[in-house]
Structure 1
């Protein structure tokens, strides 16, 4: 029983702490959802109001819609591997959009299906020619830590695993704005286009349910401890020897214990 008491002193605080940790994760995700919804609903602003050349995207600006005008550079287009779309795993099409002052921003034009083999190139609709005005959602540069994607060597030419803007900029003849854009709309529209990248849903319900589960485990552990303690007390009381019965000597009037 002493070992069980000691275990309970460790388990109960741990379960309570894990419940609060899951609750905190749910609150963090809920805050992300609120920011995402607010930014998506905000009116578009010019790109250079939120992002600078060579800079980084601020956390509070993610999902904001921006406008930028320029000319696509299809010769330096990249394909981002292992991205999900309506047809399963495919690729995102990443095309630089060069602005009038010679700087550029990477535009994720959307999803295309995976080619039959890893060495083949998928069929990619070409971007609109000439000057194009783009509306896109701002996203920060990707890293292996932020995406959970492990980098690989030996990829076919023109393919990358993540959208690492600084790394991509090293191979371009112009400076890049920080982050990249997920294409929402463009004018003029091309004859055909990749499948637009959707907005992922953030699930907060699972973390709330996990928090409740940990706290239920706490109640069960405490309830089990109370039950076992009461049973031990009851069994200990039943095991005590009964006091000897008292008898009376009728002749002498004296009492004795048998």
Structure 2
């Protein structure tokens, strides 16, 4: 059997890279499983009867739960969520405080997406003044939104932000409010409503996992091949150097 002598430099490279490649593949598999569970929860809760707003604080796991609202919007403290694309077109999502009469608490309601093709012109939107009966779903962000720079605090309304934190907004307005965003279902006071449930589906995570594992396998095979091949070349060169003069 041929001796295996890959050399210490290739060995160090493999020891440094191989665990990381395998770990990245396993991480992508875990993310795929999380997305499957998230999509299953969404599908299950879409068919449930809407909760009353008084039940929102009864269960901490309220993601995707449907809720029935009745109250009025606060047009004076609107939030525009920037950098939202639809069909290749730039725009914003409009979020407004909503005072629910049944529970007496404030809710941050996302009314949907509006186009904003010319940033020199303010976004145009209207706000109903009458009390409305609406259905919405609780949206719990899966993580923090990546921001190159934090959004400025204060300033004129409406606020143009790249990420929204409902709890921080209620603190700024000195109000008692629900800590998560609610996304409206089709009905009065809505704009375009087509939010993706997840930004990246489980199948894409599986694809990335396969790529990481394939890179790990390729690295290991190359290491084994050159370990034996390099040793064979060294022995072949040694025979030539010790041959008759």
2:78/2:159 contact within 8 Å kept: no
The alpha carbon displacement at 1:71 in A equals 2.3
1:79/1:159 contact within 8 Å kept: yes
Within 5 Å, which residues of 2 pair with 1:108-187? 108-114=110-116, 116-118=118-120, 120-127=121-128, 129-140=129-140, 146-149=144-147, 150-153=149-152, 156-161=156-161, 162-170=163-171, 172=173, 174-186=175-187
Matched, 1:199 2:200: no
Length-normalised TM-score, structure 1 = 0.74
1:165/1:179 contact within 8 Å kept: yes
Name stretches of at least 5 consecutive residues in structure 1 with no aligned partner.
245-258
1:105/1:177 contact within 8 Å kept: yes
Q: Which residue of 2 aligns with 1:31?
A: 37
For 2:175 and 2:193, how far apart are their aligned partners in 1?
26
> CA RMSD, aligned part only?
3.3
1:138/1:179 contact within 8 Å kept: yes
For 1:155 and 1:88, how far apart are their aligned partners in 2?
27
The alpha carbon displacement at 1:107 in A equals 1.5
1:51/1:178 contact within 8 Å kept: no
Within 5 Å, which residues of 2 pair with 1:1-258? 1-51=7-57, 58=60, 60-86=61-87, 88-100=89-101, 102-114=104-116, 116-118=118-120, 120-127=121-128, 129-140=129-140, 146-149=144-147, 150-153=149-152, 156-161=156-161, 162-170=163-171, 172=173, 174-186=175-187, 189=188, 193-201=190-198, 202-238=200-236, 239-240=238-239
For 1:110 and 1:160, how far apart are their aligned partners in 2?
15
* Cα distance, 1:109–1:242 mapped onto 2, change above 3 Å: closer
